[in-house]
Each structure stands twice: as structure tokens, then as C-alpha cells.
Structure 1
């Protein structure tokens, strides 16, 4: 085997007699290509500029046939970068020309095919087309350039900073070095790599391989911890240069010295940064519509006629020129189309929090600073969490139809789903961010849904039976019939310790947590005594549950829900099912309506999902709103997670849906109304969370009766 062709710290290639392995060195993942003409390969290093997409490394080989093993998705572009479509199980013959092929799997691979004709087809694997091998057959031996781009979900290197806000400000300018391309395409999460890690030290040390992006944008800000943290998301996303200034400003190299104040008498720095971040993300996603990935977009059709510019005309323009146009757009025009941001991180104005900054920027979280007015912030956070189960359909989604204020339906709102604090004692309804939660999430490989391991632990008489009954009451699905479900009844301290150390993806512990530890029948187990927690996500309750939860995160878990009071077995099972549909812990709590009297807090990294869905499908929520006894509107919400980040798009596949893609994190009304029979069919599909007229469907045995009862109640209420 010839190893290390065109060596690169992110992507390498191993070429053997019959295989070409693209290796993502940062992620430790491979994508294998096979050929039936081994003596033709002759691998040579190649220029990455040969691709219209950013790639980290490339080689050229000569082949007559290539077989790409287990790609999640494939797509084709012509030599001008115009998206042509995707390969299917029907052979697709492409005439002589230059083409680019994306092979997305555990590694992001690309092919450049020059002046050649070929046929591409997915070979069906059994009855499944998903992840089926892709075969490319060429008319004659052809020179093919193979490129790879790391998914870059973890830091490549580390910046050291002293306890000095001015040094942190200088380090900020290098965090954007992980973004692969500073065009509107950076709104795609796959082009925003994880920023370099930051550690505290005695002096500023920036690794030589990092460089400051040059985008023509400069942000100046006072050298205080509070203001430096507040501007960090905008600095990262825009690749801005940074400097110390008396007041926060954004400046553009546009030839006229344009200056945009970032703090005014009527707008705080946090409000302005949040608004600019939302504006840039949404408008970048519209400007890229004729870029790497084309296709109909809901937001484009709705917004483009009302913009003061034609978005495709900005493609390829310098960032400063794009921003000049973006800043002319009223935020109120964009507001209905802004994704619901998954998280706002609330920092303390102190040097300790700087090490968390790259993790929250990686998911493009907003960053606020606790200025001491905790009382007002606490009531806002807990109130917003409590009202998420009684949300209403906004007027803009109803085309003038009467508002049904009693419906539980997510508003088109950019308000964050969850607010997380770096403080050890977050307010009720909020989260407590821990760096170990992000680190452990990166070290765990998410299981497929069918492989997830679930454990329920209880010592309450009959509660184990009630959990079993709750599982049986949910319509049979592969998610809750898994052999991985374990119920541990009346465990000893040693039994609980073994459970905590085992490879469990979701643990619900019904044993109360006191200051002495988790109360087992034979005495309390102190989480400090568990050397290596194998549980990934957990739910615990009791007066000392937050302290115990923090300790479980430090010792191996990545996310936890801590409750002041226990919840019913039915809610436990519903939450578990939602997690196994791909929703993160915080969203699972919101969607299943955990009793607000059982005060909730989150610890670790609550935006990280528990399972990996087939084909990297995004978690979805389906809302059905009845217009008549046999006509129903369908709304689709695509859930943001730290895997499916802001800027990504999805669509609901099927004849019930619109052909247009939508930004994940938004709610979109689909193109046609459904019959009652079609709604019942939707409910029988367990691949998403469903609600009918605001009533969650958890798998009741008779979905048709559920729908008809909901319709009768809703239409009677309207009349």
C-alpha cells in the first residue's frame, strides 16, 4: 500500500492495488473507493483549486470504474458548478464534459472528472437504497481527481491566552480560520469547521498553522470581558479583524469607510449582534441559491421580491459589498424567516469562560453576558420554557384564516429554544454549560436508533410495572421494542454503580438525589465515587440533583436533565421516544411537556442528540391544523441540533409536501391540504413527532379515532 499521498493534517489518502481510502485524520473516519483496474491508478498529488468546492487535500488517479462504498448522499455538478441532480438506482448516463461529484459519508469526498463520459448508478443493497454503493463506469480509462474535506467537528489545534481581555480579543480574529470559505457559502454548516480550542496560560500563543481571515470587515470593541464575549459570534461568522476601540463598531473596506455602530441609545450590543447574525445568515442562505447546491427554497420565494437587491447578483462579490446590501434590509422583513436559534449561551464577565467560547461558536450560538440582573433574566427564561407547550400558530402562517389561540404550535420566532449559563447555578428552565459535556459529545459515536441502549432505574413499588405498561401503551415501533431497554428495580449501590458505568445512551434514574448522593435501598451512592461514567444522557431528580448532574457530566456523560420532582412513567416513556426520534434532550422535554411543576434544569451539552438517524435525517415535527372535517393543513418544523446546525436546509419528502427546501429551525406550511386518511397515515409513520390541532400524538392504538376526536373538538371550539 502507498500511504500518505499528498499528506495533509486534515485529509490523507491511502492508495492500494484495488482501493483508494480517503482518511479524515481529524475525525478518524474513512471513505473507501474501489476499482476493477488496479494497475491503472498511478496516484499523484493534485491542486485543491481544481474543485469548485473547498477541499483540504486532493490526488489524481486513472480509472475505468469506481465503486464508492456506503455513501449517505451523492450529487453531481457540471464544470461551471451548476447543480445537476443526484444519482439513483436508475443508471444516469452523462455525456462528455467536466463534472464534479460529491460523495458524502463519514468523510466528505469529491471527484473531478475532466472531459469524459460516464454512467452512475446506486446499486440497491437488499430492499434499501439508502447507503447503497455508487458505481461510476467510464467509457475509457479516465483521469479522475479525488478531493476530501474534513467535517472538522472538533478543534484542529489550540490557542493559549492569558487572563487579559485584549489578548482574548486578538485570539478571536483567528477562530474564523476554521471556516473553509468566506463567501455566502459559509452559511452551510459543513463549511464552518470547529474553531481552534482555547486554553488559559501565561502568555498569548497562536499556532503557526492558523491565519487571520481577510474579509474586509473590522469590528472594534472595548477591551472588556463582557464586550469581547458579546461580539465573538459575529467576529467568527464574518471572519472579521478585531481591534480595541472606545465603542463597538463594524467597519467595511468599501472605499467609503462605512461604519455601523453596534451599540446605540436604543439598542444594546447583544441585541445588535444577534440581529446582524440573523440577518447575515438568512441573506447568505438566499444569496447561495445558485451556488454549490441549487434547488427551490421556501424563504427565497417569499423574501426575494421584497429585497432591495437580487440575491444571485451578490454571489461572488466581496463580503463588504454583500454586507452593504444586507444592512439595507429591515430586520422586521426577515423576522418570520429567521430560524429559531437553538441556544443562547450566557457567559460571566470573567477569564474562566473563555475556554467554552469555541464550543458555543461551533454551533453558532448567540453569546450574552450576565450583567448581574439575574432576577429579570430568570423569570424570562423559566417563563419561556413553560410557555413552549402552549404556543400558537402565528397569523403569517394562516393566510388570513382565523387565529386559533388554543393550539400548541411553534411560532415562527428566532427566540432561542434554550438559554444556557456558564454559572454553576442556572435559573429554573435553563441549562448549565460544562466544557466536559462538549468534549464527551465529541468522543462518543452516536448509535443508530435500533442500537440505542435505554435504562430505567427505580425503587418505587409498582413503578417498574408502570414503566412497562407505558411502553406497551405506545403503538409498537422499532424504537421501543429494542432489546436494549433495561429496567432496574430496587438496585443496590453496586447495581447502580454498574449501571452508571455501563454503555447506556439514555438513563432515567427514579432514585432521589440528596446531599449524600443517589439514594439506593442500601444507602446513598456518591457520584464522586463513580470513576468512569459510561451513561451518555441521563435524567435525575431531587434537591441535590444539579450537583449530582454536574458530577456525572465531569465523569463521562455529555447531557443531563435534573428535576426537583419526579415525573410520571408515561412522561418518561414519551421523553425517551422523542429522544430516539433524534431530538436533543432540551427539545425532548419541550415537545413532551414535562410537568412545569417539576422544575427542570439542564447540564452539559443539551443540544447534542442521543442517536444518529438513518441517512443523517434531521429530526422533524409535523403539525396538523384542521380546516374542516376532512381538510387539514400541514406544517413542518425541522429541528436544529449541534449536528444539524443553523444554515442547513431540509424538506419533507412525499406527495403531501412542498418541493421547496426550508431553513432548519423554521416552520413552513406545506403546499396542499391533507385528507383525514392522509393525516392518519402520517401518524402511523413513527419517524417524526406529530401533533394534531396542538394535541401531541404518542402512538395511541387507534390513530383515526384520535384524529376525528381532535377535529370535532377543534371545529366546535372555533364555532
Structure 2
């Protein structure tokens, strides 16, 4: 039998006793084996508690997963039973197996008992049923890249229709969409002569409409909220959100701009949805629920089955001051121009739910190469300077980017699809300098990172390369090139002459970082030609600072947050090219890292504060669980600060530092390598903390 499913997301292809389950968007596959030849028939996706894109059924007495991820067991109602690590037996009933791997897959059976064998990624996992039974397999695409492309002419009303279709990637419009894994990547938008929306991109009917004046600034400002709510966007005289129950909420007021209202409403919906879902697909004990729940005028789980309009009515009743302390810190706030060209950035920005502001200053000095023109940009900290009463923000030109600001372009996102973060322990770094002395210090201090490092496989120092060798560095041999070479404009000086960065073609290096010379426009050339993200540092970073930067990068912090956490982030003006929320290395077990700060309180105990950060991979709505159970077993939204931890003992703090996703930040240093943070470092940090609280000079340690 040939390919049963020819749809665009999931394909099921039987081959003898093997069923190939393919995620067509991601290009990945899961194999399911039966005890007989598989003859699948289409099945209803509604049979599954969790959302799936396609489903098939077939007969078998056993299922074998030769290469799998985590396998979890649920009852027929979707209540979690256990993670299947050791062999188990279960009596006759209805069950749902979830396979969390390269292809999100669910296996459903009814009225049957079973036993299991196998337990980890290296061994096959087998489910033996008590008798022959009908097995239904349903799969959902991980959908981390666009499924299709919408073409729009230079017309704001056409852009409204396009953003009304971006939400086609969201798997369902319940509070569960606050999980980022249920918000697939929206379709691309590209400019063209007429509006073209593929038949496969369907606009859902959620009962929510948003009216705005037909202008590019308002289209851009409303896009993230329209995406999250699945709203139909239509032209109108005033900006307002209309619910199917007849309620209308103005989105502009005398005291607040459209940007501010949209941003607050988006954060409000995300936070409250995440509380409504606590008893849903993935039940959890939540920090925000226990802290915030008593102050809400409704019981969140009661809204789980309510319509979107009914939920929004309740959400709007909550005082803003009650919610604000619990909002996550978004990774990037974007500033787009009042220009049709920036419509192409919208799908990537709404994918991360990035708030969007607009500079209505005209685009000037466009020479076709981006030199001198105003640019779309993003701020890492989410704070934008000098916002006017109508929500406009300053325009900037590429060479006048403020520190901690990124020059955004579509290429940074598109190239990332082909150059994903390196696997833990596999990243490679090239450090390039024209100074033999500095090169020697780098070799002595940094090349050892690959010996015990978490995410780096090799660090190579290259001194005074020739032109051909320098060009070759960007061909994919290294995941990051960190260069400290003399340069002027986009010309970098090598041992035998200069190289123009704009002429380095077919770049396969993920990150490029330059010290103290190359222009932002020059680094943008490298990104356009295949790179993912870059940074320009206005100064020479010390070897210890560079070590900190590489350590936190390899644990899984994004490029922007790695600069922020490293000690040189505030010392030098660092400007970025491309989305600074991209990760260099995937976190251990796909988890997000967090930063730990501590202060001594009493004898041998420490008060701990933890910070976690969002990225392109770890998006808002994800929850963070600490591995150390004594830190508090309540999960919390990623992107928040926690200071409610019970004071820790010295041994507990050292144990916390040993986890692969922990970064210890003291007044002196930032350490992600647990082997470098010892009891001696702890004593030194405490001693300096105590002296810092006095008026005396801190003595040398």
C-alpha cells in the first residue's frame, strides 16, 4: 500500500509490518512496528483527547518503537498516569500512549490490558497487548517552521486579510493554546502583485473580530494579539475588539496607545489562559496560580470549557495591577517602520508573540543595500525609549543602533530553519585574532572548555589567518566565529590582504561576533548570506569575560541573554544583527536554563533568586520545573523571576550549581560550568557580599 496520507502536515506510509509516521513540515520520522502486516485505514482525529493533525487505525497484538523519545501514559479521559520508564503491567481498560520525540504521536487503545518492556532512547520500547486489538495512531506536526506562504500586495487591507490567516497554525482555540507547542509557526508573508492565500491555509472562526483603521502602523501593532486570539481583522474607524456575545472593548483611549493596550491584553490573555489550563492536558502545580488565584474574581478551571468570548469577558474584569507582577518578561520587543516591506517580519514576530511598536518616521536614504536607511529593530529588554503619546517610537538607522538593540531581518529566521541550535556537546567555535599574545591566552584559558563543557565540542584559536582561510571559516566547519581582527567598514584585514564581509557567500556558520570594528551593516551581509545572528562589540573583551560568554551560550541561553548575563554586557555597547533570541546550543533534555543569584542570610544559609529567559525556541507559555525538589515543586511560567525559594544550605546551593541547566551569578563572576564553582568560590562570593553591604573597602580575596 502506498502513502495513505498526502496532506501537508503528517503522512502515514505502511511498509510490511512497519508504519512510517512522517512530519512533513519538519522533515522528521517516527517508526511504529506491529506483529503483522499493517493495513491502515483513516481514523477520526476527534478520538484523541489531545490535538492531532491526522490519524489511522490497524490491528495488532503488539507495538514496538525502535527509536523513541519519552513515552507517557494517560487514561481515556486524558488524565496523566505515569512516565513509562520501567516495565509495567496494566489491567483491561482504555489507554492513551504519548510518544514525545521527533514526531509528536499518540497511540490509543480500548478495552485491553498491556505490559511494556524497554525504557530509554537507546533501547526499543515494546507494548504487548493481552489480545489482538485495534490500535489508533494519531500524530501532530511539531510545526516549528512555516507551512506555506501568503502573498500580499502593498495594501493595508490586504495585510489585514493576511494576518487574519496567520493563526491557521494554532492547533486549537482553547486555553491550551497558551502552550507554545500548540501554536505552530504561522505561514510566511511575502510581497507580490496581488493577494494569494493557499487553500491549505484556513482561517478559523473563533467569534472574535478586531477593527482598526486601515494603516500599516495599526496592522503591525495588532498582529500578535490577532494571531493569539484567532481574530478576523477588518477595517474600521476606531480600534476595537468585538466579541460574538456583542461586547466591544476599545483598544485606544486618552491614556493609552494602541501598542500599550494590545501588549497588556496579550500578556493578560496568555497569563490567565495558563491558569485556566492547569487541570488540562498537562496538569501542574503552578506558582502563579497559588499566588494570584485568591485575587481573581473567577475560579480559573471553571472557564476551561467556556467559549473564547466568555473567557475574554472574565479576563477583562481583572485589575491590571493584580496581574502585572506575574507577567513574564518577553524576549524581544520589535519596532517596525510604517512601510509595506516590514509586513514580511510579522509571521516570525507573532510566532514568539513579540510586542510590536511602530516608528512612523519615513524611510530615508534607501540605496538598495540598506546603507543609511531606517531599519526595523528589536530591544532585548523590551523597554523602548521616548515613546510618544500615540505609541510611536524613534526610528534608527543601521549604524546608529543603540546598545542592546537588534537590526531585524527575515533572513535571521529563515536561515535558522536550516541551521538549528547545535546538540549539547557538539558545538564548535573559532576564535580569530591578529595578536599572537592574545591567541596564546585564548588557547590556555578557553580551549579547555571542550574538555568538560556542557555544549561545546571544540574551541580552536586561529591567529592571523590568510584571506582564503578566513572565508572558509564561515562555510560550516564552525557553529560560531568570534573575530578580533582589524577592520574598516566591511573590510577585514587578514595576513595577506583584506576580505569584504559582504562577499562571503554561502555562509553556514550560525553565529558571528566581531569585536571593535565591523559595522552592523557588514554583519547583516553575513546574515543575509546564510548566517542566523550576529553581534558587534564596541571594545575588546577580556579572556575571563569571553569564557563567561561561551559558558552561558553552551548551556542554552540565547545570544542576547548570554551577552546580558556575561560581565561585558553592560561594559561595552553591544549591538545585534538578526533575532538575538536564537540559541547557540540546545539545552540539556530540551530544557531552558536559569540563572541563580544568592545572598547569605543567617549562619550557613542563603537566600536564592532565580531568573529564567524566553528565546525563539523556548517561547512564552512554557513552564519551568526545577530539578532540585527542595527548591520548590511548583512550576512557573518561563521568563519570570522567583524569589520565594526556601533559604538553602551550603550543600544545597553547591548541588544546585551542579545541574546542567543552572548558571550561578555572583558579584564577581558568572559560572555555568559546575566544576568551576566550588566551596571556595561560595565563600569568596559571600565575603564580598558582606563587605559590599558596608562602607568599607572590599579586601582582596
TM above 0.5, yes or no, is: yes
Identify the residue that residue 199 of structure 1 maps to in structure 2: 190
Identify the residue that residue 609 of structure 2 maps to in structure 1: 635
Identify the residue that residue 71 of structure 1 maps to in structure 2: 68
Larger mean CA deviation between 266-275 and 688-697 belongs to 688-697
Choose the corresponding residue for 1:174, options 157, 165, 174: 165
Choose the corresponding residue for 1:107, options 75, 88, 103: 103
Query: What is the distance in 1 between the residues matched to 2:413 and 2:126?
Result: 38
Deviations 1:115-134 (A, max 9, x none): 1122345424xxxxx66543
Query: What is the distance in 2 between the residues matched to 1:349 and 1:534?
Result: 32
Q: 1:600 offset after TM fit, Å?
A: 1.0
Larger mean CA deviation between 665-674 and 498-507 belongs to 665-674
* 8 Å Cα contact 1:474/1:701 also seen in 2: no
**Local SS of the residue matching 2:524:** helix
Choose the corresponding residue for 1:227, options 218, 221, 227: 218
Residue 435 of structure 2 is aligned to residue 460 of structure 1 = yes
Identify the residue that residue 8 of structure 1 maps to in structure 2: 7
Q: 1:203 offset after TM fit, Å?
A: 1.3
The alpha-carbon distance between structure 1 residues 121 and 333, as it changes in their structure 2 partners (threshold 3 A), is: farther
Residue 312 of structure 2 is aligned to residue 323 of structure 1 = yes
Query: What is the distance in 1 between the residues matched to 2:638 and 2:623?
Result: 5
Deviations 1:593-642 (A, max 9, x none): 22545321111222111122342122222233321231123333333111
Query: What is the distance in 2 between the residues matched to 1:629 and 1:149?
Result: 52
**Local SS of the residue matching 2:318:** coil
Identify the residue that residue 334 of structure 2 maps to in structure 1: 345
Identify the residue that residue 410 of structure 2 maps to in structure 1: 435
Query: What is the distance in 2 between the residues matched to 1:589 and 1:421?
Result: 24
Choose the corresponding residue for 2:49, options 52, 55, 59: 52
* 8 Å Cα contact 2:25/2:147 also seen in 1: yes
Identify the residue that residue 123 of structure 1 maps to in structure 2: 119
* 8 Å Cα contact 1:131/1:615 also seen in 2: no
**Local SS of the residue matching 1:140:** strand
Identify the residue that residue 585 of structure 2 maps to in structure 1: 611
Query: What is the distance in 2 between the residues matched to 1:505 and 1:196?
Result: 28
Identify the residue that residue 29 of structure 1 maps to in structure 2: 28
Identify the residue that residue 697 of structure 2 maps to in structure 1: none
Identify the residue that residue 352 of structure 2 maps to in structure 1: 363
Residue 499 of structure 2 is aligned to residue 500 of structure 1 = no
Identify the residue that residue 682 of structure 2 maps to in structure 1: 707
* 8 Å Cα contact 1:385/1:590 also seen in 2: no
Deviations 1:566-593 (A, max 9, x none): 3222222221121111111101000112
CA RMSD of aligned residues (A): 2.7
Query: What is the distance in 2 between the residues matched to 1:475 and 1:106?
Result: 27
Q: 1:34 offset after TM fit, Å?
A: 2.5
Query: What is the distance in 1 between the residues matched to 2:11 and 2:251?
Result: 43
Query: What is the distance in 2 between the residues matched to 1:648 and 1:108?
Result: 17
Q: 1:284 offset after TM fit, Å?
A: 0.3
Query: What is the distance in 1 between the residues matched to 2:380 and 2:45?
Result: 51
**Local SS of the residue matching 1:313:** helix
**Local SS of the residue matching 2:539:** coil
Identify the residue that residue 680 of structure 1 maps to in structure 2: 654
The alpha-carbon distance between structure 1 residues 710 and 420, as it changes in their structure 2 partners (threshold 3 A), is: farther
Identify the residue that residue 409 of structure 1 maps to in structure 2: none
Flag structure 2 segments of 5+ consecutive residues without an equivalent. 364-373, 385-392, 695-701
Deviations 1:59-107 (A, max 9, x none): 112222222244333322221222223222x223322222222111111
Q: 1:215 offset after TM fit, Å?
A: 1.1
Identify the residue that residue 216 of structure 1 maps to in structure 2: 207
**Local SS of the residue matching 1:346:** strand
Residue 243 of structure 2 is aligned to residue 269 of structure 1 = no
Q: 1:473 offset after TM fit, Å?
A: 7.9
* 8 Å Cα contact 1:343/1:420 also seen in 2: no
Q: 1:489 offset after TM fit, Å?
A: 1.0
Choose the corresponding residue for 1:552, options 514, 526, 530: 526
Q: 1:474 offset after TM fit, Å?
A: 6.7
Q: 1:676 offset after TM fit, Å?
A: 0.9
Q: 1:148 offset after TM fit, Å?
A: 0.7
Q: 1:478 offset after TM fit, Å?
A: 3.1
* 8 Å Cα contact 2:600/2:607 also seen in 1: yes
Deviations 1:32-67 (A, max 9, x none): 1223x124x332111111111111111112222222
Q: TM-score, normalised by structure 1?
A: 0.89
**Local SS of the residue matching 1:601:** strand
Residue 59 of structure 2 is aligned to residue 85 of structure 1 = no
Q: 1:110 offset after TM fit, Å?
A: 0.9
* 8 Å Cα contact 1:422/1:433 also seen in 2: no
Identify the residue that residue 302 of structure 1 maps to in structure 2: 291
